Amino acid sequence: MYDEVLREVAARIAATGSIGKADIGALVLWKRIRADTRWARRLGDMPDQQVREATAAAVAAANDDRLPVADAGRQGCAELRKVPGFRHGPALASALLTAAAPDRMAVYDRRAMTGLSRLGLELTGWNDRYGRYLHRIEVLRAVAAEYGEDWRARDVDIALYHLGGDG
């Protein structure tokens, strides 16, 4: 039920190959990110076609099977930096990239970071945080595979979210 919006946006991205302002707005609501900010105003002022051109490269990167997952995430984040709201921190970018490539990418958030920390896999520093996060997700997917489980990256990030929860 919670991922309903994510799945709807993912279907539109799969059909169009890009992410529009309405999709970003839906993911902002889904991710519960504040939008009463300068970046949201700048994004709103940007023509949707320009947003779609910038995000199309991020969608392509996230889905490029020739790239390891962490590299695809790094490249996707780099492409998204052309769009207001994606220059700092990976939270919103990770939501867009996960919608763009739901079987490869993972959602980044504070609770998942707490979950990683509880497993002794804490990330330090902000440099390349999403790429390093995805690398850890892939390590955890490999551990699950050793036990016969076929987890997607999204399955791992949901598990980390619950592990990092307060209750």
Asked whether the predicted pLDDT for residue 167 surpasses 70, the reply is no
pLDDT of residue 2: 79
How far apart are alpha carbons 103 and 122 in whole angstroms?
Answer: 23
Where exactly are the structural domains of the chain?
Answer: 4-100, 110-163
123-143 pLDDT, tens per residue? 998 899 999 999 999 999 999
- The overall average pLDDT reported for the chain is 94
**What pTM was estimated for this model as a whole?**
0.94
How far apart are alpha carbons 105 and 63 in whole angstroms?
Answer: 9
10-62 pLDDT, tens per residue? 999 999 999 999 999 999 999 988 888 999 999 999 999 999 999 999 999 99
Asked whether the predicted pLDDT for residue 89 surpasses 90, the reply is no
Rounded to the nearest 10°, the torsion over CA 93, 99, 103, 108 is 30
When pLDDT is averaged across residues 75-84 and rounded to a whole number, the result is 95
